[in-house]
Amino acid sequence: MDISKKLLIVIFSMFALFTALLIVASHTILLASFSDLETQDTLKNTEKIEQAIAWETMSIDRTARDWAFWDDTYEFVNTFNSKYIDSNLDGSTLYSLDLNVMLFVNKSGDIIYPMSVDLINETEVPVPAGILEGINSGILTAHNDTDYIHGVILLDEGPMLVVCRPILNGPDIGPYDGTLILGKYIDNSYISSLEERTKTSLDIRTLNEEMPSDFKEVFNKTASEEGSVVKILGAKRVAGYFALRDPTGKPVALMRADYPREIYAQGEKILYYIYFFLLFSGITIGTATRFSLDRLLVSRLIAIDNFLGKVKREKDTSKRLEIEGEDEIHRLSKSINEMLSSIRLAEQELKAKEYEKKFILDSLEEIVVLRSPDFNILWANKAALKNKDILMAEAKGLKSGNSQVEKGLLHKLKKPQDPIWTDQEFTSPEGKTWLIRSKPVYDETGNIIAVLETGVEITERKKYEIELFRAKQDAEIANHTKSEFLANMSHELRTPLNSIIGFSDLLSEKVYGEINTRQLKAVGNISTSGKHLLSLINEILDISKVEAGSFELHYSAFWLAEIFAEVRDMLFPFATSKGIKIELEIENSLPRICGDKERLTQVLSNLMTNAVKFSNENGCVRVKASQSNNFINITVSDEGIGIAAEDHDKLFKPFSQIDSSSSRKYQGTGLGLALVKEIVQLHGGTVWFESKVGKGSTFGFSIPLSGRNG
């Protein structure tokens, strides 16, 4: 399908969808609006009917007030004066008042004078039994001076609108002395007159008769709610309902007013016009858009497509595309022409680079071969062709299926994260050794498309590797011999040193007799120097044991506080001489640990000695110990000279000093921290430090509670 047909389908589909959305939206919104207008209009008209009944009630109430607040009526109820009857209650009274019932009831609830007529037939009728029941129950009788009773009561003859007023000796002059009851039937005659006045079709249904389904549904709503209810009766009728309530407020009848759905019908008619307009507009605009796009865009795109197809067939990048105009299509044609020029230039450069690459690869002494995925040779440089015996030996290995290339590369179908090189060594018949390196080449989808091989002669390198291996073995033997020598010499030196230290201490204690002050000082120097030398020999012996793999730990359970106190007491004279305070912060809840007590004392002593040694005078050395899970963490911090960042790598290395000036000022062999690291690691722990020049240093180590990691 060409682009013209696609555009036609897309345009008309878009306009069809847009038109459908507009139709749905307008249908939903407008019909909802017209439905709301219809409901509001129905409620308004229904409220007018309800208001007409209310005005009827008010009219009857005005009559009731005129008669009930008349002094003669008050006297008539008390005396039953016949003149009142002759003058006011003749046979035409109810007809002139347009009432069916007028009853005078005394304060005891007895009817003094009843009047009841049939207005249609103009005959006197008995007082309805329902009225009498209302009087006997007290519903229709006044109980105080301000009682106002009105509503619709259900009688066997039909619903009656009733108004009751207390009989008073003048307006608002009590006490009341009876009740005046006026009533009028809501019969067909009254309904007809109401229909004529409101121009509405009305229907009334009472609670004591069978109601149609729509009346039942609405009656259930009005039983608990005030106001009118609107209900759609069909496509052409809508009705408004309101309840008629008895004097107690309970609904006893339901009146319905029917109206034609003129507003809704008018809305539907308007919608049909809108639908027709939208469809006509959509078809017109879609057709015009299609022809405009076909002329301005599609035909020119087809011309570009035909031109590119011709260039592809003829493989002639010298052709140029000519499109008139100053729009994006014209700029696209210019870009295509520029792209063709770039392609032509790139082809020329590619040919030049291909020649250059071939020249360079042929100039190499190394073998360069490109193979297909099944290891057939696709291309080889001159060095590879000169050493065909190597290629033949490799091909033999590939065919046998034992090649590392076949095992390591051929089965990989997706490109790995990192390039994979597979190395193989081959020996030519002349005795030369070659290293062949193979690497898969992948396409953009991750599939192997070729295998690149490079080869270099490594005969001399192999000889050098053999010599280097032998030299390494000799060095290891020499290092082992050195370690044994140091260990033996340390043992040999310790024996005479112990004698020197022992006899010098005996002389200092004057076991062999009195000596003068100069002699005592000399003997003390001998003892001090001997002990210092013994400490150095012990460190050399320990580091020799570590290197020889014969360093052993002797485990026991002990409290850390014991070794802290021991080291602090040992360093107290040295620290006091520099005015340095030693502060210990040990958690009270630390449990006993299992380790080599003597070696851990040595670790703590080395760290605290260094801290005191490299601290400024009147400084402070802080030692902290805390527990973290199953490990004990110990840190030693000072406020001394610190260590430069470039010297951090020298720490923990045997016989290593930060600089010569420091080693002269702060004496030592450089073995202390190396032993610290080895002892902690043998316990299964780790060592760390933080330091800045002039900011002091913090050394710490962590060991497991059990003395061994895990």
3-state secondary structure 210-246: CCCHHHHHHHHHHCCCCCCEEEECCCCEEEEEEEEEC
Q: Name the least confident of 162-176, 245-259, 272-286, 408-422.
A: 408-422
Q: Categorize the per-residue pLDDT at 161 as very low, low, confident or very high, splitting at 50, 70 and 90.
A: very high
pLDDT score of 2: 62
Question: Average pLDDT in the 600-606 region?
Answer: 88
Most confident of 82-86, 159-163, 282-286: 159-163
Return the closest-CA partner of residue 496 out of 446, 525, 552, 534.
Answer: 534
Cβ contact 435:425 at 8 Å: yes
Convert the pLDDT of each residue in 296-335 to its tens digit: 677 777 777 787 888 778 777 777 777 776 777 777 777 8
For residues 84 and 127, what is the distance between their CA atoms, to the nearest angstrom?
A: 21
Query: In this predicted model, what pLDDT tens digit does every residue of 117-130 receive, in sequence order?
Result: 998 888 999 999 99
| Token reading at 27 | 């249908």
CA atoms of 149 and 168, how far apart (whole Å) = 15
Which range in 6-20, 159-173, 457-471, 525-539 is most confidently predicted, on average pLDDT?
Answer: 159-173
- pLDDT at site 683: 86
Interhelix angle 328-363/299-314, rounded to 10 degrees, is: 20
Which residue did the predictor score with more confidence, 562 or 223?
562
Q: Which residue has the tokens 């004529």?
A: 196
Residue 667, pLDDT above cutoff 60? no
What's the mean pLDDT when you consider all of the chain?
79
Coil vs helix vs strand at 502:
helix
Question: Which residues are CB-neighbours of 431 under 8 A, at least 6 positions away?
Answer: 459
